[in-house]
Amino acid sequence: MNSEKLLVVDNVTKVFTKGQGFVKSKIEAVSRVSFALERNRPEIFTLAGESGSGKSTVAKLILGFEIPTTGSIVYKGNPVGGLKGKREFIKDVQPIFQNPFETFNPLKKVQSYFHDTERNFSKFSPGKYPLTERALELVGLTASEIKDKYPSEMSGGQLQRASIARALITNPSLLIADEPVSMIDASLRMSVVNLFKRLKDEQKVSIIYITHDLATAYYISDRIAIMLRGQFVEVGAVKKVLDEPLHPYSQLLKASVPAPDPETRWSEDITLSDLETREYTRKGCKFAGRCPKAFDLCREQEPEHHAVDDRLVKCHLYA
């Protein structure tokens, strides 16, 4: 059964210990997270949440930069271990990072990464980089836009597209995109986001899209998982989860997205959490402190995932 799946994340937990000696504190950055992507059905799966929700840690776990404390991550039937070798894995799974100016070494020409990737993963004849040209075409960049350029000579939008192109050279089956558009101006985001849609539809690439921007998530995702303090609180088809959110946190998130429309403005105020660490170490449901519908059980016991209306909701209200 497992060979049917592209990626299986099974009950993964990641604990970080801060401090040394006597003063240690443990933070469960990722807590019992599970989901799976099908092999022959490419999809865009979004991990949405605020900062500190653990979504970037999940990305690092999948890419192999961190190792799960418990649980397992299996890609095409093979476990994803520490980052040692695993050439096949690197060929098939590629990352796209948030800050394109950090993705590339500012002292190196951008094209060097392209050439290196092509050289390392294909038979190549010197001077000719057909895979690079193809990848640039896919993202809508011309060769002259990156030829001999350093990262600081390109705009954020161009550079991010170059970053995506580099990830496409090896013809991967899975892209892990960590906040790929948050550093690009709002008006240029669409070109990158539309590109992801095209990649899924035409190139059959699955994408794990990590973001805190629900509007773009709604626009391109198939499924979405809302994360809070390392846990999935609601998982399901994006239209369902965002049109009618069930978990109180999902509802709060949706209500907080400002609409680009002066006719709709918020009517009521919200309260904000003060110190982040308090929510991490809270017993019971992590959202109980802010939840308008919380009751006693919420503060005592962590809720289970309940299957409701074709999605999973981690909330006592739906027991």
Between residue 113 and residue 172, which ones bind other proteins under the rule CB under 8 A? 113, 116-117, 119-121, 150, 152-153, 155-158, 163, 166-167
Cβ distance to other proteins smaller for residue 31 or 250: 250
Angle at CA 81, nearest 5°, toward 79 and 87? 90
Footprint of other proteins on residues 70-89 (CB under 8 A)? 83, 87
**d(Cα 269, Cα 51) in Å, to the nearest integer?**
21
Does 173 sit near other proteins (CB under 8 A)?
Answer: no
142: left (phi over 0), alpha (psi -120 to 50) or beta: beta
Pick between residue 75 and residue 113 the one whose CB is nearest to other proteins: 113
Residue 297 within binding range of other proteins, rule CB under 8 A: no
Q: Give the total residue count for the chain.
A: 319
Q: CA-based Rg of the chain, rounded to a whole angstrom?
A: 21
Contact criterion met (CB below 8 Å) for 218 and 55: no
C-alpha distances (whole Å) from 118 to each of 85, 92, 94, 130 are 17, 14, 14, 9
Site for other proteins in 16-75 (CB under 8 A): 50-52, 63, 65
Q: Which residue type is seen at 214? A: L
As measured in angstroms, the least distance from the Cβ of 220 to other proteins is: 9
Binding other proteins by CB under 8 A: which of 202, 243, 296, 304? 243
When the beta carbons of 254 and 306 are compared against other proteins, the nearer one is: 254
Is 272 an interacting residue with respect to other proteins (CB under 8 A)?
A: yes
User: How far is 63 from 87, CA to CA, in rounded Å?
Assistant: 12
- CA dist 34 and 151 (Å) reads 37
Does residue 97 bind other proteins (CB under 8 A)? yes
Binding of residue 215 to other proteins (CB under 8 A): yes
**Site membership for other proteins, residue 216 (CB under 8 A):** yes
Count the Cβ atoms, other than its own, within 10 Å of residue 201. Answer: 11
Q: Is 189 in the site for other proteins (CB under 8 A)?
A: yes
Q: Which amino acid, residue 26?
A: K
Interface residues for other proteins in 220-239 (CB under 8 A)? 239
Using rule CB under 8 A, residue 218 touches other proteins = yes
Q: Which two tokens stand for residue 206?
A: 């699955």
- What mask, x for binding other proteins by CB under 8 A, covers residues 300 to 319? --------------------
Contact flag: residue 214 with other proteins (CB under 8 A): yes
Residue selected from 103, 111, 160, 250 as contacting other proteins according to rule CB under 8 A: 103
Residue 169 half-sphere exposure toward CB, CA atoms < 13 A: 27
**Shortest gap between Cβ of 319 and other proteins (angstroms)?**
26
Cβ-based nearer residue to other proteins, 49 or 303: 49
Q: Inter-axis angle of helices 156-168 and 186-203, to 10 degrees?
A: 20
